[in-house]
Amino acid sequence: MNPAFSVIFFTTASGAGYGLLGLLGAGSFFSFLPADRTLMIAASVTALLLITGGLLSSTFHLGHPERAWRAVSQWRTSWLSREGVSSLVTYIPATLFTYTWVFCDIDNSMIRLSGLATVVLAVITVFTTAMIYASLRSIHAWNNKWVPLNYLLLALATGLILLNAFLAWFAADTVGLTIVAIAVLGGSLVSKLLYWRFIDSSSSSSSNASAIGTRPGSTVKLTQSPHSQANYLQQEMVFVIARKHARKLRRIATLMTFVIPSVLLAATLFSNSKLNVACATLAVPVATIGILIERWLFFAEARHTVALYYGAQSA
């Protein structure tokens, strides 16, 4: 698939935003975050800005962005519509959550209740985003159990990295959260490696041979191109990345998304306050670059079944 930057930015920014927002809500409900009004307001506003920026960028890939509102009407059958509905509904408790931190007492029960609702809806929204891709049977690399798991884990991991940085900036205790963040990054790495192993070791049941009814494994060659020049389908759905480039980008994504941020977070456990802030802060841009590369690969390595029509042997 042709990686569109608007969609890459959308899934990356909104994932981090929902991860951070969900953690803030959980922290308020279960009381594992400091009752610091300024910290919570700054982190909540940042999460909402990431979510809003991501959602707005997703409309840039539409042929008619002005019609984006119509997508929410098909929630009974479309994961895209369900994502639109859940993302809009999430603004209600998230805005109430932020409002209560600004104008109400810190021990207000509304903070806890709106925080819990925010957690639930943030998880649902990230899951529906993942299911937009995982539900597509025509794309083998997406139609599997690893896609929703990776989306949820990466949203949580990037949210933890952001929250860890906020805690460091406001001189709050980060030890427990840092350990959790390192553990989640480790779990995310394992899940991502298993996903790459899956797409490398399996392929779609559809092939040129199955299309014309010959025995499985037989070779079918295209003798004449179906078109004299490239068309929309080829531009959007028949994007091919060389295996050697994919391997190199996977290594870079692994280092910058999982390994280096984990090392930087671990360093905060054994450093003074100034170095703690520096390492926690540096982990944010490093992980951001890594997740952008990871998400670019997610699209670039996916093969649509329509590629068989243009000469590919498998999808």
| Model confidence pLDDT, tens digit, residues 74-84 | 888 889 899 99
- pLDDT tens for residues 93-144? 999 999 998 888 777 788 999 999 999 999 999 999 999 999 998 888 999 9
Same domain membership, residue 187 and residue 292: yes
Q: What pLDDT score was predicted for residue 304? A: 79
CA distance 254 to 240: 21
CA distance 18 to 108: 23
Neighbours of 314 (CB within 10 A): 16
Contacts 24+ apart (CB under 8 A), 112-117: 112/28, 112/29, 113/29, 114/25, 115/24, 115/25, 115/26, 115/27, 115/28, 115/29, 116/25, 116/26, 116/29, 117/25, 117/93
Backbone CA torsion sign across 122, 12, 268, 44:
negative
Q: What is the mean pLDDT of the chain?
A: 88
Q: What pLDDT score was predicted for residue 145? A: 94
Q: Could you tell me what percent of the chain has a pLDDT over 90?
A: 58
Q: What pLDDT score was predicted for residue 210? A: 67
pLDDT top residue among 311 and 279: 279
Q: Residue 170: which pLDDT band, with cuts at 50, 70 and 90?
A: very high
Taking CA 286 as the corner, what is the angle to CA 121 and CA 177, rounded to the nearest 5 degrees?
A: 50
Same domain membership, residue 177 and residue 119: no
- Is residue 154 one of the residues assigned to a domain? no
Q: What pLDDT score was predicted for residue 203? A: 78
Same domain membership, residue 61 and residue 123: yes
Same domain membership, residue 189 and residue 294: yes
The alpha-carbon radius of gyration of the chain (Å, integer) is: 22
CB 38 within 8 A of CB 182: no
Same domain membership, residue 231 and residue 281: yes
Number of domains in the chain: 2
> In this model, does residue 234 exceed pLDDT 70?
no
Same domain membership, residue 213 and residue 103: no
Same domain membership, residue 177 and residue 128: no
SS3 304: strand
Same domain membership, residue 241 and residue 111: no
Q: What pLDDT score was predicted for residue 312? A: 64
Same domain membership, residue 201 and residue 114: no
Q: Residue 303: which pLDDT band, with cuts at 50, 70 and 90?
A: confident
Domain limit, last residue, from 135, 162, 196: 135
> In this model, does residue 314 exceed pLDDT 80?
no
Domain limit, last residue, from 113, 135, 157: 135
CB 29 within 8 A of CB 93: no
Query: Cα–Cα distances in Å, from 174 out to 178, 181, 237?
Result: 6, 10, 44
Domain limit, last residue, from 87, 111, 135: 135
- Is residue 246 one of the residues assigned to a domain? yes
CA distance 299 to 251: 17
Q: Residue 311: which pLDDT band, with cuts at 50, 70 and 90?
A: low
CB 281 within 8 A of CB 259: no
Q: Supply 148's token pair.
A: 């929703």
Same domain membership, residue 204 and residue 110: no
Q: What pLDDT score was predicted for residue 228? A: 65
pLDDT top residue among 162 and 226: 162
CA distance 315 to 311: 11
Q: Which residue has the tokens 């993942």?
A: 130
Of residues 1, 88, 79, 97, the one with CA closest to residue 301? 1
> In this model, does residue 241 exceed pLDDT 90?
no
Q: What pLDDT score was predicted for residue 237? A: 66
CB 146 within 8 A of CB 131: no
The parent domain of residue 232 ranges over 172-315
> In this model, does residue 256 exceed pLDDT 70?
yes
Same domain membership, residue 193 and residue 127: no
Q: Residue 14: which pLDDT band, with cuts at 50, 70 and 90?
A: very high
